[in-house]
Amino acid sequence: MRPIDLHVHSTCSDGTLTPSELVDLAREKGLAAFALTDHDTVDGLEEAVSYARKLRAETPNPDAPSAFACIFCDSDAPQTVSTAPSLPPVPEVIPGIELSTEYRGRDVHIVGLYIDYQNEGFHRKLGEFLDSRIRRNHKMCALLQEAGMDITYEKLQEAFPDSVITRAHYARYMMEQGYTQSLKEAFDRYIGDHCPCYVPREKITPAQAIALILEADGIPVLAHPLLYHLNDENLEELVWEGKEAGLMGIEALYPTHSPAEERQIRRLAGKYHLLLSGGSDFHGSNKPQLELGTGYGKLFVPEDLLNEFQKSRKNLLFTDLDGTLLNNASGLYPPMKEALDRMTARGHRLILTSGRPLPSILEVRKALGIEYPGMLVIANNGALVYDCDHSSNILEYRLSPEDIRYIIGEAEKRRLHIHAYTDTEIVCHGMNAELQFYTRRIHLPLKCVESIPDHLPKGSFKLQCIHLTDRKRLEAFRDRIVSQLGDRIQTVFSNDQYLEILPAQAGKGKAVRFVQEYLCIPHSHTFAAGDAENDISMLEEAQVGIAMANADPAVKEHADLVTIRDNEHNGLAEVLDRYFT
C-alpha cells in the first residue's frame, strides 16, 4: 500500500517548493496522492493539477508492450518487451486549502480537501481574506521599520513573487538581510505571538471556515488538533461545535503525534463520526528535517484513507417506498431496477426511507433484489435508522409507555382504530377492516391483546391510527393529543387514511440529517424523493428535494424538482440518470 499526504504547502503560501516541484517530489517518494493545502489561497492548485495531468499524458503505459524483431530468436515474428522506463506513477493531486480561524483566542486551522477551487463565490470570499491579510502586512512592516529594519510589503512581494506573504516569509527575509541570525530568532524577538511587531490577523471562526469549504463542495477537516494545546474537555467542545457546523474529518496522523495522542484523536473521530485524515504539514526548508509523506521519519498515512474520502464524494438518495420508488403493485419495473443497479454500481448510496416498520422494509428490500452494499434504512418515519450491513439499529426513538397509554385511551374514546408495534409484530385489539386494509402491504404478525400499553414495556417506535373514510375524525383526534402532549410527540399523515404518532425527536427530515452526518456526506450530495405529507421534512432537509409527478400538491410546493413521469412509469429513474452518473 502506497502512502499519501493530505497536508502540504507550496511557495504560494509559506512553503519553499513550487506546486510543480511538489508533484515531482511526491512522485519521487512514491506517494499515491497528496493534497496541496496552502494557507488561505488556491493560487497553486491549477499549476499542480495541470502539471500532474501533463506528466500522466507523457508517461508510457508500463503495461503496454512494444514490438521488435529479435535477431537472437529463432523466429522472425515480432517479440514484445516493455521498453518504458521504470517511473513511479504520477500522484493524484487533491485540491485543498488551509484556512486560519480563531477559536477562544487561539489560532485554529481548518483544511478543506477536494474543493472546487474554481467556484466563483469561494474565490470572492478568499479575496476578502487576502485583503485583510494585506492590511495586516502593511501594519507589521510599519512596526518592523520602527524597530530599525528596512522592510516594506513591496520588498517582501519582490523577494517572494506569487506567494501569499506570511510570517514565515518575514522571518526568511529578516535572516537573509542580516537582521536576525535565524528564523527562530525572528519569531522569538519580533514577529511571534505577543512580540512587539506582531499584528493579529482578522480571522473567521471555525464554523465560518467550514461553511466556506462546504460551499466549495469540499471536505472540512480539523488540522493538527493537538497543536492548539486545549485540554481534553475544550478540544472535545471544539470538535463537537465543528461537527454541528458540518466538520467531516480530523487529522489524526501527524508528525508530532505520539501513539497515545493518535489513539486519542481516533477516539474523537469515532465518537463524532469523522473521517480520519493525516499529513506531514510539509513546508520545504521552512520546516527543516520535516519530509513530504514521512514527516520526521515515522509518519505513514495509508492510501486506504482516500477510499473513505472518495465515498463522501458520492450522492445519497433518500427515497420513500410507496408511491415513489415502488409502482402501484409495490414492485419495481425493470427500468427502475436497472437504474438503481447503475446508480449503486457507481458508488452512490440508496437509503430506503419509509413510514413502514423495519421488518416490512427489509422484506421489500429482499423481495425486489435491492440489497446493495452500504445501505441504511430509515423506518417508522424516522424513529429508527438501521444499518443493513451490520444488522443493527444505529438510531432509535420510542414513545413512552405513559404517552402510549394516554393516546390509545383517547383513540378508544373516539372509537378509532389504533395499533402499536414491537420490534417484529403489530400489537392490536384484533382484526378489523382497518387492519385488513393496512396488512395488504405491511406483512407483520399480529399480536392481539386486550390492553395494548401493557404489552409495550419498552414503548413503541410509533402508533398508527386509521380511518378509511373520514380524515376529519383523524384530524380532530390529532388536535386533541397534540394539545396535551405536543412537546413530546409529533403527528403526520402518510395518506388520508393513516395518521402516525411519533416521538418528537423522530421524523424523516431529522433522520436524513443524522444519516448525512453519520456517513460524513456533504449536504450538497443529498437527494430525497417522496410523494406524501410525511415526506416533506426530508425534501426540505436534503440539498435536492424531489416530488413525484403523482405527489400531493403540498409536497410539490416543497420540492426543488418534480418528476415528469409518476411512480407507475419509473418517474424516479429519470432523476437517477441525471444526477447519479
Instruction: Please report, for the domain that includes residue 282, its CATH number.
Output: 3.20.20.140
Other beta carbons within 10 Å of 64: 10
Asked whether residue 108 falls in the same domain as residue 211, the answer is: yes
- Asked if the model's pLDDT at residue 238 lies above 70, the reply is yes
- Over the stretch 250-287, which tens digit does the pLDDT of each residue have? 999 999 999 999 999 999 999 999 999 999 999 999 89
Please tell me the predicted confidence (pLDDT) of residue 71.
Answer: 34
- Is residue 198 a part of any domain in this protein? no
Q: Is the dihedral of CA 191, 194, 199, 203 positive or negative?
A: positive
Asked whether residue 38 falls in the same domain as residue 105, the answer is: yes
- Is residue 199 a part of any domain in this protein? no
Among 503, 536, 565, residue at a domain's last position: 503
Asked whether residue 454 falls in the same domain as residue 466, the answer is: yes
Asked whether residue 64 falls in the same domain as residue 177, the answer is: no
Lowest mean pLDDT among 65-74, 211-220, 420-429: 65-74
Cell numbers at residue 518, please?
453519520
Please tell me the predicted confidence (pLDDT) of residue 63.
Answer: 52
- Asked if the model's pLDDT at residue 54 lies above 70, the reply is yes
Asked whether residue 214 falls in the same domain as residue 108, the answer is: yes
- Asked if the model's pLDDT at residue 72 lies above 90, the reply is no
- Is residue 570 a part of any domain in this protein? yes
Please tell me the predicted confidence (pLDDT) of residue 166.
Answer: 81
Q: What is the enclosing helix (H) or strand (E) of 109?
A: strand 106-113
Asked whether residue 147 falls in the same domain as residue 89, the answer is: no
Please tell me the predicted confidence (pLDDT) of residue 1.
Answer: 86
Nearest to 508 by CA among 528, 487, 523, 485: 528
CATH number at residue 337: 3.40.50.1000
Cell numbers at residue 553, please?
400538491
Q: What is the DSSP string of 333-374?
A: -HHHHHHHHHHHHTT-EEEEE-SS-HHHHHHHHHHTT---TT
Cell numbers at residue 8, please?
502540504
- Is residue 295 a part of any domain in this protein? yes
Please tell me the predicted confidence (pLDDT) of residue 155.
Answer: 93
Whether the pTM exceeds 0.85: the reply is no
Asked whether residue 169 falls in the same domain as residue 264, the answer is: no
Q: How far apart are CA 550 and CA 187, in angstroms?
A: 67
Asked whether residue 81 falls in the same domain as residue 108, the answer is: yes
Give mean pLDDT, residues 19-43.
96
Among 128, 157, 191, residue at a domain's last position: 191
Q: Which residues of 347-385 are buried (b: 16+ CB within 10 A; e: fewer)?
A: ebbbbbbbbbbbbbbbbbbeebebebebbbbbbbbbbbb
- Is residue 200 a part of any domain in this protein? no
For cell 488538533, what's the residue? 225
Number of domains, the chain: 4
Residue 32 belongs to domain spanning: 3-116+205-311
CATH number at residue 442: 3.30.1240.10
Give the CA angle between residues 316, 495, 480 to the nearest 5°: 115
Q: How far apart are CA 515 and CA 394, in angstroms?
A: 10
Other beta carbons within 10 Å of 445: 10
Asked whether residue 434 falls in the same domain as residue 393, the answer is: no
Asked whether residue 499 falls in the same domain as residue 511, the answer is: no
CA 208 to chain centre: 16
Asked whether residue 407 falls in the same domain as residue 512, the answer is: no
Q: How far apart are CA 97 and CA 77, in angstroms?
A: 55
- Is residue 541 a part of any domain in this protein? yes
- Is residue 243 a part of any domain in this protein? yes
- Is residue 480 a part of any domain in this protein? yes
pLDDT confidence bin for 161, thresholds 50/70/90 = confident
Task: Give me the amino acid identity at 361.
Answer: I
First to last CA, the chain: 29
Q: How far apart are CA 55 and CA 64, in angstroms?
A: 17
Asked whether residue 429 falls in the same domain as residue 535, the answer is: no
Q: What is the mean pLDDT of the chain?
A: 92
Among 466, 481, 503, residue at a domain's last position: 503
